[in-house]
A = this chain, B = another copy of it.
Amino acid sequence: MLTLISPDGTVGDRLPITLEEMRRLYSDMVEARTYDHKCMAMQRQGRLATYAPFEGQEAAQIGAAATLRPDDWVAATYRDAALMWRAGYPWSLLVAGRTGDERGGQAPDGVNVLPPSITVGGHMIHAVGLAWAEALRGSDRVALTSFGDGATSEGDFHEAMNFAAVFNTPTVFLCQNNGFAISYPRAEQTRSESIAMKAEGYGMPGVLVDGNDVAAVFEVVREAVTRARRGGGPTLIEAVTYRLGPHTTADDPNRYRDEDDAVEWREKDPLERVRLLLERAGGWTPEWQTDLETRAADVIEEAVAMAEALPQPTAEEMLLRMYEQPTSSIESQLREIGS
């Protein structure tokens, strides 16, 4: 398993990026964590529907998304807000989605990020189709799909991996193995030693990486993205990480896991190790931290305000969202609602 930055912030002989880039990644992770905490709080206040926190997984998501070009495709999940945001999806729409508003799924033009997949496993093959289309028309866009350890048990994972390899599509499969699928531990999910090694069964490279190490994630995903962009086909990456919070706001992790584990994993925090590294390298000060946090809080507050300012969606919109042109059945139901 590749680690470049140890939990204590020390690095081996190399880092794939400059100090300035590292500061950017750190800043992004701080912003993402601010969003995550804000959403948890909002959910408790009844302002959001169920929320799936990603705390602890910031490095995997930010590190991966940072390798993409703005026109690349992303197909991710309910837990991938940080990844989607770093790929261009506005926080305000992510919040809107969580308030229970379909308009939250409408990525801005030019942002090729699909709405988050709520079904587990179904969306990976979409990234195969997206990438395949790009390859067919000779573009060099790639598609990155992110999913959890649990998702690898679904049949659709298998079909997606196989199609990607068979048609040599420029798809990057990023598995965030966060230890659990709701309550079901990774060790029971599959008897293979790693998820990365499953790639072999498809004739595809598989890479195991420390998912709490933003530099290592950046490096392996960048390599996979570059290979895909050059026609070298798909890669499966397993980023080993841990979900520090509950599965969702409706979940109680005490029912199925030892809180000592979480404590242990807090020591491997993806932000703290980068902070230590930056501090040692002279790239971090308490003032900068305060600055980052204030700015992040402002940005997220603004996003929340935008999401909450969206007018109440109408019934008509709901019906008109089904087809480009309303069908006869939609039209007659529109009349029924109007009456």
A contacts, CB < 8 Å to B: 153-159, 162, 165-166, 188-193, 197-198, 200-204
Contacts and interface: CB of A to CB of B under 8 A. Distances in A.
A287 to B, nearest CB: 50
A157 B162 CA distance: 12
B197 A200 contact: yes
Contacts of A156: 155
Contact of A159 (B154, B191, B200, B204): B154
How many chain copies? Answer: 2
B202 A192 contact: yes
A190 B164 CA distance: 10
A159 B155 CA distance: 6
Contacts of A200: 192, 197, 200-201
11 contacts: A154-B155, A155-B156, A155-B158, A155-B159, A158-B158, A158-B159, A166-B189, A166-B191, A190-B202, A190-B203, A201-B201
A214 to B, nearest CB: 28
A28 B155 CA distance: 37
A162 B153 contact: yes
A202 B153 CA distance: 10
Contacts of A154: 155, 159
Contacts of A192: 165, 200-203
A142 to B, nearest CB: 18
A202 B192 CA distance: 5
| Residue in A158, A191, A201 whose Cβ sees the most chain B Cβ within 10 Å | A201
A189 to B, nearest CB: 7
Nearest to A189: B166
A166 B188 contact: yes
Nearest to A191: B203
Contacts of A157: 155, 158
Contacts of A158: 153, 155, 157-159
Identify the 6 closest CB pairs spanning chains A and B, nearest first.
A155-B155, A191-B203, A158-B158, A198-B201, A201-B201, A165-B191
A198 B200 CA distance: 8
Contacts of A198: 201
A131 to B, nearest CB: 16
A170 to B, nearest CB: 15
A256 B242 CA distance: 49
Given A166-B188, A197-B200, 20 more contacts: A153-B158, A153-B159, A154-B155, A154-B159, A155-B156, A155-B158, A155-B159, A157-B158, A165-B191, A166-B189, A166-B191, A190-B203, A191-B202, A191-B203, A191-B204, A192-B200, A192-B202, A193-B203, A198-B201, A201-B201
Contacts of A197: 200-201
Contacts of A165: 190-192
A235 to B, nearest CB: 13
A153 B157 CA distance: 11
Contacts of A153: 158-159, 162
Contacts of A190: 162, 165-166, 202-203
Nearest to A199: B201
Contacts of A166: 188-191
| Residue in A156, A158, A200 whose Cβ sees the most chain B Cβ within 10 Å | A158
